[in-house]
């Protein structure tokens, strides 16, 4: 659904436009149909610039992209008709009602049954009771819900969400997250930028960590395994030195470390090796109290990648 090759955006800055600011540098990636893709990076990393290029709002300096089957730079009108976009600070007609705001955009997109579509999304996002109220009276959370409805009113193939829950209270954030999960079950393709790493881990099939350049790209689970490996902690009543060597000799074990009454074991395939380790320890006389895997968060991966990239640029 989205494919980029060497996509680059350079802004000219300075009084005489003499300085190049590289916002996006040689971005190459593919997002599949029905995938929820998380685009993660610090402020100023170029995430919003990328979204603006992919939705045909600004032109790239170089590189190519195809969005919903249309070529960027040549078929931008078709791209805009087939994508929805939720910006970080969406603008609304504040003097008009929620119903009228959606009606205007439904007509702009030539939606076949305007009233049906407007009513559908007002109901789905919990705005039906406030449909006749002016948007100027809405809270930030309600405005964001209305903005989500507006981005979907023409039933786009691809939805771009730029920081969809920034500044929202927990209840409004949950509403938006639940709605994204519902869209996911419908097979929608969603490209989401976010600072909320817990949100990305729960919602996204794959994530790309980005800072002008794409630093890494994979599912959250695969990124954890690649960066940290898999470690299992065996909690024992006591640890005898001989047991460390015993466990180290079991197939699939990469490393064993004794810490107090625990054994921290690095494994290639815990599901395969855990029963063998437990059996060997019990046969050796160990009292196994419980076993648990150390889980690394997406936040740890993100910070390691971004900080490593910043050290490399220094």
- pLDDT tens, per residue, the chain with 314 residues: 899 999 999 998 877 777 889 999 999 999 999 999 999 988 889 999 999 999 999 999 999 999 999 999 999 999 999 999 988 777 889 999 999 999 999 999 999 999 999 999 999 888 999 999 999 999 888 888 899 999 999 999 999 999 888 777 888 788 888 888 888 888 889 999 987 888 888 899 999 999 999 999 999 888 887 777 789 999 999 999 999 999 999 999 999 999 999 999 999 889 999 999 999 999 999 999 999 998 877 888 888 888 888 777 65
Helix 98-108 vs helix 114-124: crossing angle, to nearest 10: 130
Distance separating alpha carbons of residues 238 and 205, to the nearest angstrom: 41
- Residue 307's region, left for phi above 0, alpha for psi from -120 to 50, else beta, is alpha
Helix (H, G, I), strand (E, B) or coil at 105: helix
Tell me the CATH class for 225-294: alpha beta
The pLDDT of residue 182 is 85
Residue among 170, 174, 193 nearest 182 (CA): 174
**Per CATH, domain 2-218 is 3.40.50.720:** no
Instruction: Tokens for 121, please give them.
Output: 């999304």
Beta bridge partners of 258: 263
Residue among 129, 134, 135, 132 nearest 147 (CA): 135
| Distances from the Cα of 236 to the Cα of 260, 264, 280, angstroms | 9, 11, 13
How do residues 133-179 score in pLDDT, each as one tens digit? Answer: 999 999 888 888 899 999 999 999 999 999 888 777 888 788 888 88
Instruction: Tokens for 175, please give them.
Output: 């509403």
Distance separating alpha carbons of residues 104 and 83, to the nearest angstrom: 17
Q: In the chain, where are the structural domains located?
A: 2-218, 225-294
């Amino acid at each position: 659904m989205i494919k980029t090759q060497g996509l680059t955006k350079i802004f000219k800055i300075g009084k005489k436009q003499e300085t190049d600011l590289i916002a996006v540098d040689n971005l190459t990636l593919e997002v599949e149909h029905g995938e929820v893709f998380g685009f993660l990076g610090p402020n100023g990393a170029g995430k919003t610039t990328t979204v603006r290029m992919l939705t045909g709002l600004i032109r790239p300096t170089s590189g190519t992209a195809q969005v919903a089957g249309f070529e960027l730079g040549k078929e931008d009108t078709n791209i805009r008709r087939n994508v929805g976009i939720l910006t970080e600070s969406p603008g609304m007609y504040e003097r008009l009602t929620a119903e009228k705001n959606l009606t205007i955009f439904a007509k702009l997109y030539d939606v076949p049954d305007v009233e049906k579509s407007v009513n559908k999304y007002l109901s789905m996002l919990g705005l039906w009771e406030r449909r006749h109220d002016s948007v100027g009276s809405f809270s930030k959370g309600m405005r964001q819900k209305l903005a989500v409805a507006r981005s979907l009113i023409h039933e786009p193939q691809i939805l771009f969400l730029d920081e969809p829950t920034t500044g929202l209270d927990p209840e409004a954030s949950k509403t938006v997250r639940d709605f994204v999960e519902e869209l996911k079950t419908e097979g929608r393709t969603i490209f989401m930028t976010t600072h909320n790493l817990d949100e990305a881990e729960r919602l996204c099939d794959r994530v790309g960590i980005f800072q002008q350049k794409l630093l890494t790209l994979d599912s959250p689970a695969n990124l954890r395994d690649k960066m940290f490996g898999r470690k299992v902690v065996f909690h024992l009543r006591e640890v005898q030195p001989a047991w460390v060597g015993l466990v180290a000799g079991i197939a699939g074990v990469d490393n064993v470390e004794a810490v107090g009454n625990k054994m921290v074991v690095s494994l290639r395939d815990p599901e395969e090796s855990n029963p063998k380790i437990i059996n060997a320890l019990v046969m050796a006389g160990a009292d196994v109290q419980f076993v648990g895997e150390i889980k690394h968060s997406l936040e740890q991966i993100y910070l390691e990648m971004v900080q490593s990239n910043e050290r490399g640029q220094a």
